[in-house]
Amino acid sequence: MGDISKDIQSKFVNNKVKALINIIYTANWINSHQNEFFKPFGISPQQFNILRILRGAGKPLKVQTIKERMIERAPNATRLMDKLCAKKLIDRLPCPEDRRVVHIEITKEGLQLLKDIDKDFKEDLLENLTEEEAIQLSNLLDKIR
C-alpha cells in the first residue's frame, strides 16, 4: 500500500495538510492512468465524459447543459466537442426556435465506442478498497466539498 510521505519524500506539518496533498497527488495519479487508458480509443477523459453524459441523457442536449454536467468543467468544452464532431462521434443539431442554441447528440459510432470502452473499463484503480470503504471515501470527499 502506498504512503504519501514516502512517495514524495516529504513530511507534513499536520494530518490535514497531508490529506490535502494526498488528494491532489492521487487525483493526478488517477488522471495519468485515465489518459493512458483512453489513448488507444483516440479520445481524452474529458471527451469520454461528454460521450457518457450524452449516452445517459438519451436525447440531444444543449451545449450549456453538457458543460454543467461535466466532471471537469473545462472552458474548452466547445473545442472538445469540435474534435468529437470531427471523429463523427457526436452531431450538432441547430435549434429551429433559436439560432443561438445548438443541441448535441451522440452518434451510433459514439455509442459503439462507449460499448468498446465499457468492455475494457475496470475499476482496478480502486481494487484495494472494499465496497464499504468506497462508500466512506465518497462520503468524505462529498464532505470536503
Whole-number pLDDT of residue 65: 93
Residue 79 in this model has a pLDDT that exceeds 90: yes
Whole-number pLDDT of residue 75: 77
Could you give all domains of the chain from N- to C-terminal order, each with its CATH number? 42-144 (1.10.10.10)
Q: What is the pLDDT of residues 50-75, one digit of tens each?
A: 999 999 999 999 998 999 999 887 77
Residue 7 in this model has a pLDDT that exceeds 80: no
Whole-number pLDDT of residue 128: 87
Whole-number pLDDT of residue 1: 57
Q: Averaged over 95-114, what is the pLDDT? A: 92
List the grid coordinates of 31. 488522471
Whole-number pLDDT of residue 33: 92
Whole-number pLDDT of residue 126: 86
DSSP notation for 17-52: HHHHHHHHHHHHHHHHHHHHHHGGGT--HHHHHHHH
What is the pTM (predicted TM-score) of this model? Answer: 0.83
Q: Beta partners for 102? A: 94
